[in-house]
Chain A
Amino acid sequence: MPNINKNIDIIKPINLLLKKIKPSYFYIILLVPLLAIIIELMSGGLGVDPMRKIEKELGETGLNLLIFTLALTPITKLTSFNLIRYKRAFGLMSFFYITLHFLTWLLLDMQLRWDEIIISLTKKPFIVLGMVSLVLLVPLAITSNNYSIRKLSSYWKRVHFLVYPAVIIGGLHYLLMAKTIQFDAVKTLIVILLLITLRFFKLKKIKWL
């Protein structure tokens, strides 16, 4: 007769393994993409216009990390692997990359040309979207600590709900940035919409065979 309790046999050891991987490790591990960019820059791998590439890669890393942060809860619910504890690290590191992306735009791209910056931030749709997305993430970054969870209590969840509009708007910023419709950006937006839909559905554990 098949062992119905087999699924618990796999989950427990994996979760024991995961316990060894502390969330704080990810603050270092997730610096690897940044390191990769720097190494590529120094070796000429970023080509003739490195600034543009850096701007793009920082933004893409930030957006992808943010999306992955949103995937942690559905994956945990479906598999029972305890991944939710990594959410804070992934969330903060995505904010880190998005901030660097914004600073690259402000300092290396626009070079503090304020009149053009203001025009862009107020009149140019895809830039407005990017700014809004970043601004929506700021309260999340500021409250990503235990002190805030205690002080804000029921408001904390409401604040962190802002991640949903932030990630959609971020996805739209990514899509509208290019002169033509880019498949990567469309794929990203689809994944975002899927994850948001998942949030509103009760997820059943996958029965492991």
Chain B
Amino acid sequence: MDIKNDKIKDAFTPKHIYVNRRKILQLGMALSSLVALNKITPAQADETLERKINTFEEITNYNNFYEFGIDKTDPAKYAHKLTTSPWQVEIAGLVENPGKYDLNELLAGINSVDRTYRLRCVEGWSMLIPWNGIQLNHLLDKVGIKKEAKYVAFETLLRPEEMHMQKTQVMYWPYREGLRLDEAMHPLTILATGLYNQPLPKQNGAPFRLVVPWKYGFKSIKSIVKITLTEDQPISSWSMQNPREYGFYSNVNPNVHHPRWSQASERYIGGEGEGYLGNLFTRRYDTKLFNGYDEVAYLYEGMDLSKYY
């Protein structure tokens, strides 16, 4: 290399050397991350049986709640604007006792349950969360289901002055979701009102939200104001937004890939070490069909789950 012809009057290190050094640096970083991760081989497929419950801080600072912003930290920042008391829930459609109920009235007399469930987001991460609440089927029995009812539809609050993103067109508001009646009646399906024995934080969908652990997280609709029993399949907001990517059922299924990313594995948020540096190494584990909740498999017997995704 002819330094004398170098138009850029540079320092002492000839360019081809420091460009090579850069490449070495890059390679070095790659290798050291390999070493740090210990054994990141595809054989690392087994789920840990001893999964840690995520901390309250993790669960309340990493949320998809687009009403408050697109970033995962936006709900923690802005959800305080939400007024959750008083809270009215409308029960409508094919029920014996329709009407507008105060939340406490609605929940009165129903057994509390504590359920620690895995929540698997469609984006490919998951957490283990200790919910408190009630079984949905107990509430539905309380309001009385008419025999023509085939589905349950849910609706989130529409209040743009408190949920500022509802003033934008990023999604069709209010957020809506639905379940087939047998899915809604399954004992696993709960309405959560608390987390870690604390009242449900606003960024997690206060004052009450659905949790359907065998489906992708977006099905677990937050801050519910309306529950309708219907004969026809209800609207599912993400499905309306992008039908090719999000279906009505959205059962966690490693064999049905999202058009834009694979669903074969997920990262366990909460990492392998201490604190924020530990959270850096969120190991991937194989995703299980129905998020590992095989007790719901019978609901889908005979259904082609790649067609009904």
Contact = CB atoms under 8 A, between A and B. Distances in A.
B209 interface: no
A92 B282 contact: no
Contact of B10 (A23, A48, A144): A23
A22 B7 CA distance: 12
A120 B261 contact: yes
Contacts of A116: 262, 264-265
A120 B125 contact: no
Contact of B40 (A112, A145, A176): A112
Contacts of A49: 62, 72, 125, 269, 279, 282
Contact of A92 (B22, B257, B276): B22
Chain A: interface residue count, which band? Answer: 35 or more
B29 interface: yes
Interface in B64-83: 66, 70, 72-73
A64 interface: no
Given A48-B62, A115-B264, A180-B171, A27 B18 contact: yes
B1 A48 contact: no
Contact of B29 (A42, A44, A103, A114): A103
Contacts of A120: 261-262
B8 interface: yes
A50 B19 contact: no
Contacts of B283: 111
Contacts, number: 132
B170 A107 contact: no
A131 to B, nearest CB: 14
B194 to A, nearest CB: 20
Contacts of B269: 48-49
A177 B199 CA distance: 35
A72 B10 CA distance: 19
B11 A115 contact: no
B307 to A, nearest CB: 19
A129 to B, nearest CB: 11
A103 B265 contact: no
A144 B19 contact: yes
Contacts of B5: 146
Contacts of B1: 145-147
A111 B58 contact: no
B260 interface: yes
B266 to A, nearest CB: 11
B259 interface: yes
Nearest to A112: B40
Contact of B41 (A23, A27, A47, A112): A112
Interface in A139-166: 144-147
Contacts of A179: 123, 242
Interface stretch (B30-38, B112-120, B181-189): B30-38
Contacts of B279: 48-51
A109 B276 CA distance: 16
Most buried by A among B269, B275, B282: B282
29 contacts: A22-B9, A23-B8, A27-B18, A42-B277, A43-B276, A46-B276, A47-B62, A47-B72, A48-B62, A49-B62, A49-B279, A50-B279, A51-B267, A51-B281, A96-B22, A107-B30, A113-B42, A113-B284, A119-B264, A120-B261, A123-B257, A124-B259, A124-B261, A144-B19, A146-B5, A146-B7, A178-B70, A180-B70, A182-B70
Interface of B: 1-2, 5-11, 13, 15-16, 18-19, 22, 26, 29-30, 33-34, 37, 40-42, 44, 57-58, 61-62, 66, 70, 72-73, 123, 125, 170-171, 241-242, 257, 259-262, 264-265, 267, 269, 275-277, 279-284
Given A96-B26, A115-B42, 12 more contacts: A27-B18, A41-B277, A41-B280, A44-B275, A47-B276, A54-B280, A99-B26, A103-B26, A107-B40, A111-B284, A115-B264, A125-B260
Interface of A: 22-24, 27, 41-44, 46-51, 54, 85, 88, 92, 96, 99-100, 103, 107-116, 119-120, 123-127, 144-147, 176, 178-182
